[in-house]
Amino acid sequence: YGEQALQSLGLSPQAAASMYGAVNLGATVGSVVLANQAGIKLTQANTLAQASYKDFNAAGVKITPEIMQTHQAQSLIAEIKAGSPTLSASRAEDIAAGYLQSGTNLPQTGIATSGSTLVKVVPKGDVVSAMTGYWMSPQQAQAVALMTPEQAGKVLGLPATQAANILKNGVDFYAITPKTGTTPTVFVSNVANTTQGVVTMPGGAQQVIVPNRSQWTTPAPVNPFTLRSAGGG
């Protein structure tokens, strides 16, 4: 019937047969490509699910007593304790060590001024933890928004569970700004390589660590492409 319809448009029987065959071949190839993509995505999801039961490790700054005495580490500890005064000294040090280990280098310190904006990437549908200190600049968020879900999980060095959720559902973006009258201290580094089971995330994105969330507004959903550049030193 397809060939007859093409003939009715003035094509010869031979041309109609060739064109109809080409259309069907194109549809078949498209179906195969989609099926292959779905299979690859399922394989990736299964690998991430299996890795989620393993320990998560960041191969960033190696924590030593000397590192914990650096200006950056001591400043991190002070900001963590300022935001959570009831924390024990040892717990504040552990949190600071985790922040340091997540980066490839000791972070640079900066001051977030009025009008600064930081962005958080989460799996679509998730909420932002009230305590998380991992954020990024609007420019980095825009770059992530242009990536595939798989690429985003890799450059952010995410744990397997979060990477799997992003692969399945995509991402949402949330933004925070300093509260009026505050000038929060932030710490900037590059995300380190992470491993969890057989899964390796190369990292590479720039992260902005916010150790004292009490100085920042409640996270609000945002489109990263509508944000202007973050201020601050």
pLDDT in tens, 80-115: 999 999 999 999 999 999 999 999 999 999 999 988
Structure tokens belonging to residue 6: 């093409």
Lowest mean pLDDT among 15-19, 90-94, 121-125, 181-185: 15-19
- CB of 166 closer than 8 Å to CB of 149: yes
Q: How far is CA 153 from the centre of its chain?
A: 5
State the Cα torsion 218-52-92-193 to the nearest 10°.
-90
Q: What is the pLDDT of residues 142-176, one digit of tens each?
A: 999 999 988 999 999 988 888 889 988 899 999 99
Cβ atoms within 10 Å, residue 129: 12
Residue 52 has pLDDT above 70, yes or no: no
Kindly report the CA angle at 231 between 227 and 232, in degrees rounded to 5? Answer: 150
Q: How far apart are CA 215 and CA 180, in angstroms?
A: 9
Nearest to 176 by CA among 140, 210, 200, 144: 210
Average pLDDT of the chain?
84
